[in-house]
């Protein structure tokens, strides 16, 4: 995989940092321990992985795709990083991302865009475009992403790979640099559903260092992926969400989705149309809640506690240094979100914006609850379009935000969701993804249905 990275990554830019030495020494340690007759530390011992550059890694840079953290080397490992190391998974390096995970194309990285291996003039999705592109380009069999509004599933969809957002609280956020704490969730990127399940079981589990981590057994996702592989969905009820298709969706995406539903029916599933009327407001609620939380979380990059410091000439006040540093350290999308969020949280506007958005969030969660009384999982296209061209949406934030139309509801409700490859679009020959959504703590249903379908 290191050879493959050396061969193709200059044209893809999936990696921000490559740790050849570290990966090789971790692989050698696995070889030595197996040679001495020890049991492998996990099913993935010796299988390399690429880590989104938003998880802290002791001794390895962690930039979050931002100038403000350009030279930061964390003194500690995220829980996800620690679990990977303990499982004997060699970490090949850190992957490119939209700055602080804000974006849908990886063009908001301060270190240049990642290119889609299917067509290098197109985006690999975002914010975790580096992770999904590295899997799609065979630079690594596995990667880790984070999904706040779709950043694992949307890149998976447009790169023809598998991506899973586990139930909120299923994977620890300790050492995951926060964007929107009530939505952020780490999860697996892989080329098959079973690979994703194996990785899911390595990284999931309760963590006392994260107060929102769920103290419950890890859902049996590997068993479910193996069961699903026999392709029998008899007795499984699948809901097609009426509100997540139609106008604004490409014809090739809708055709692929219809074919996917027909295939699920052939595999024995019972297909039911369900209505989730408040999903239509998901995008609006998300773009108040996520920027609000981001404006608070990113206050720590003030040049005093964390982040780039410029203009500290002994003459300027602390406030002037903070202001100059944040001006230089953050890109335009991050600044836009901080301003939006600060406004939404300001006194006099808090109830009208943040308060209303939280109420909509509750209504969306209730839509899910009602739907899951009728069906086991819900399905929709993962994204309304295939990969768009680099530069096409960068000056139009609202067009960029639409990429997450279908993925956001699961984040707002804290549910589990997966994107699984669903063939190529008849419009442009680019990959399309099928989204599967399950109730919180029922992640195994995604793997059962996803493995049967793939
Ligand atoms: N594209 C969405 C945003 O810009 C989601 C990002 C994410 O999931 N990290 O906020």
- The predicted-structure confidence for 151-205, as pLDDT tens digits, reads as follows 999 999 999 999 999 999 999 999 999 999 999 999 999 999 999 999 999 999 9
Helices 282-297/332-344 angle, 10° precision: 100
Architecture (CATH level 2) of domain 2-281+358-453 = Alpha-Beta Complex (3.90)
In the reported structure, the alpha carbon of residue 407 is separated from the centroid of ligand 1 by a whole-number distance in angstroms of 10
Give the integer Cα–Cα distance in Å for 420 and 85.
Answer: 27
Residue showing tokens 């096409």: 392
Nearest C-alpha neighbor of 33 from the set 81, 87, 104, 99: 87
Residue showing tokens 């990113």: 298
Quote the tokens at residue 368.
Answer: 């899910």
Q: ipTM, 2 decimals?
A: 0.97
Residue of the nearest CA to atom 5 in ligand 1?
Answer: 149
Is residue 95 within a helix (H) or strand (E), and if so which, with residue range? Answer: strand 91-95
Percent of the chain with pLDDT over 70: 100
pTM above 0.80, yes or no: yes
Question: What is the per-residue pLDDT across 249-288, written as a single tens digit (0 to 9) for each?
Answer: 999 999 999 999 999 999 999 999 999 999 999 999 999 9
Nearest C-alpha neighbor of 78 from the set 173, 185, 187: 173
Give the integer Cα–Cα distance in Å for 175 and 163.
Answer: 21
Nearest C-alpha neighbor of 200 from the set 161, 143, 156: 143
Confidence (pLDDT) at 156: 98
Pairing verdict, β 186-190 and 270-274: unpaired
Helices 282-297/356-374 angle, 10° precision: 130
Average pLDDT over residues 221-250: 96
Question: Do residues 242 and 214 make contact, with C-beta atoms less than 8 angstroms apart?
Answer: no
Confidence (pLDDT) at 396: 95
Give the integer Cα–Cα distance in Å for 317 and 327.
Answer: 15
- Please identify which of the residues 127, 157, 180, 419 carries the catalytic annotation: 127
Q: Active-site residue 295, yes or no? A: no
Question: What is the per-residue pLDDT across 299-313, written as a single tens digit (0 to 9) for each?
Answer: 999 999 999 999 999
Nearest C-alpha neighbor of 147 from the set 351, 16, 285, 286: 286
> How far from each other are the two terminal CA atoms of the chain, in whole angstroms?
25
Give the integer Cα–Cα distance in Å for 240 and 403.
Answer: 19
Q: Active-site residue 52, yes or no? A: yes
Q: How buried is 367 (Cβ within 10 angstroms: 0-12 exposed, 13-18 middle, 19+ buried)? A: buried
- Please identify which of the residues 104, 105, 134, 151 carries the catalytic annotation: 151
What is the chain's percent helix, strand, coil content, to nearest 5? 40, 15, 45
- Please identify which of the residues 52, 83, 94, 165 carries the catalytic annotation: 52
Give the integer Cα–Cα distance in Å for 98 and 300.
Answer: 19
Question: What is the per-residue pLDDT across 58-98, written as a single tens digit (0 to 9) for each?
Answer: 999 999 999 999 989 999 999 999 999 999 999 999 999 99
Confidence (pLDDT) at 413: 98
User: Within 6 Å (CB) of ligand 1, which residues are found?
Assistant: 101-104, 127, 146-151, 179, 290, 404
Structural domain spans, the chain: 2-281+358-453
Q: Centre a 10 Å sphere on the Cβ of residue 309 and count the other Cβ atoms it contains.
A: 16
Confidence (pLDDT) at 50: 99
Give the ligand 1 atom nearest the CA of 183.
Answer: 8
Nearest C-alpha neighbor of 106 from the set 9, 1, 199, 16: 16
Residues 6 or more apart whose CB falls under 8 angstroms from that of 280 comprise 243
Question: What is the per-residue pLDDT across 12-44, written as a single tens digit (0 to 9) for each?
Answer: 999 999 999 999 999 999 999 999 999 999 999
Give the integer Cα–Cα distance in Å for 105 and 81.
Answer: 25
- Burial of 249-279, coded b for 16+ CB within 10 Å and e otherwise, reads bbebbbebbeebbebbeebebeeeebebebb
In the reported structure, the alpha carbon of residue 230 is separated from the centroid of ligand 1 by a whole-number distance in angstroms of 34
Confidence (pLDDT) at 369: 98
Helices (H) and strands (E) counted in the chain, each on its own, are: 15, 11
Q: Active-site residue 42, yes or no? A: no
Nearest C-alpha neighbor of 107 from the set 79, 80, 126, 94: 126
Pocket test for ligand 1, best of 52, 96, 101, 331 (most atoms within 8 A of CB): 101
Give the integer Cα–Cα distance in Å for 429 and 427.
Answer: 6
Question: Do residues 163 and 220 make contact, with C-beta atoms less than 8 angstroms apart?
Answer: no
Pocket test for ligand 1, best of 182, 404, 407 (most atoms within 8 A of CB): 404
In the reported structure, the alpha carbon of residue 80 is separated from the centroid of ligand 1 by a whole-number distance in angstroms of 20
- Give just the sign of the alpha carbon dihedral 437, 116, 49, 180: negative
451 — pLDDT class (breaks 50, 70, 90): very high
ω into residue 334 within 30 of 0, thus cis? no
Any idea what DSSP says for residue 353?
Answer: I
Question: What is the per-residue pLDDT across 379-424, written as a single tens digit (0 to 9) for each?
Answer: 999 999 999 999 999 999 999 999 999 999 999 999 999 999 999 9
Pairing verdict, β 142-146 and 186-190: antiparallel
Any idea what DSSP says for residue 217?
Answer: P
Exposure on the CB side of residue 42, measured as CA atoms within 13 A: 22
Confidence (pLDDT) at 363: 98
Residues 6 or more apart whose CB falls under 8 angstroms from that of 174 comprise 78, 79, 207, 209, 210, 213
Question: Do residues 344 and 350 make contact, with C-beta atoms less than 8 angstroms apart?
Answer: yes
Q: Centre a 10 Å sphere on the Cβ of residue 31 and count the other Cβ atoms it contains.
A: 11
In the reported structure, the alpha carbon of residue 103 is separated from the centroid of ligand 1 by a whole-number distance in angstroms of 5
Question: Do residues 95 and 14 make contact, with C-beta atoms less than 8 angstroms apart?
Answer: yes
């Amino acid at each position: 995989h290191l050879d493959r990275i050396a061969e193709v990554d200059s044209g893809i830019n999936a990696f921000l940092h490559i740790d050849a030495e570290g990966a090789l020494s971790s692989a050698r340690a696995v070889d030595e321990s197996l040679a001495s007759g020890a049991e492998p530390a996990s099913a993935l011992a010796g299988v390399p992985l690429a880590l989104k550059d938003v998880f802290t890694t002791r001794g390895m840079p962690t930039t979050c795709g931002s100038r403000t953290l350009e030279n930061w080397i964390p003194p500690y490992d995220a829980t996800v990083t620690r679990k990977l190391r303990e499982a004997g998974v060699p970490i090949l390096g850190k992957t490119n991302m939209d700055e602080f995970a804000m974006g849908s194309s990886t063009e908001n990285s301060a270190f240049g865009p990642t290119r889609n291996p299917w067509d290098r003039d197109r985006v690999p999705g975002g914010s975790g475009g580096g992770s999904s592109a590295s899997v799609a380009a065979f630079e690594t069999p596995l990667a880790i992403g984070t999904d706040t509004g779709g950043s694992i599933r949307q890149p998976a969809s447009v790169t023809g790979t598998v991506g899973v957002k586990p139930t909120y609280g299923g994977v620890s956020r300790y050492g995951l640099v926060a964007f929107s704490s009530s939505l952020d969730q780490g999860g697996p990127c892989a080329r098959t559903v079973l690979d994703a399940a194996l990785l899911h079981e390595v990284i999931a589990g309760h963590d006392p260092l994260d107060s929102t981590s769920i103290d419950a057994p890890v859902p049996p996702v590997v068993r479910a992926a193996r069961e699903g592989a026999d392709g029998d969905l008899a007795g499984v009820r699948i809901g097609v969400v009426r509100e997540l298709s139609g106008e604004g969706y490409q014809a090739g995406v809708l055709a692929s989705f219809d074919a996917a539903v027909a295939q699920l029916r052939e595999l024995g599933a019972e297909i039911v149309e369900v209505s989730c009327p408040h999903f239509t407001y998901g995008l609006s609620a998300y773009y108040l809640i996520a920027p609000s939380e981001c404006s608070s979380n990113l206050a720590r990059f003030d040049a005093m506690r964390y982040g780039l410091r410029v203009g500290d000439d002994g003459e300027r006040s602390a406030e002037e240094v903070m202001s100059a540093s944040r001006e230089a350290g953050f890109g335009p999308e991050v600044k836009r979100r901080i301003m939006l969020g600060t406004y939404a949280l300001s006194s006099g506007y808090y109830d009208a914006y943040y308060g209303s958005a939280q109420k909509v969030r509750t209504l969306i969660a209730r839509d899910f609850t009602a739907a899951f009384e009728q069906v086991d999982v819900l399905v929709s296209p993962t994204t309304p379009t295939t990969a768009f061209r680099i530069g096409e949406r960068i000056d139009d934030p609202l067009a960029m935000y639409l990429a997450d139309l279908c993925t956001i509801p699961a984040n707002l409700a804290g549910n589990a969701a997966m994107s699984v490859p669903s063939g190529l679009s008849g419009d442009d020959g680019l990959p399309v993804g099928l989204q599967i959504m399950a109730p919180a703590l029922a992640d195994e249903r995604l793997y059962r249905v996803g493995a049967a379908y793939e």
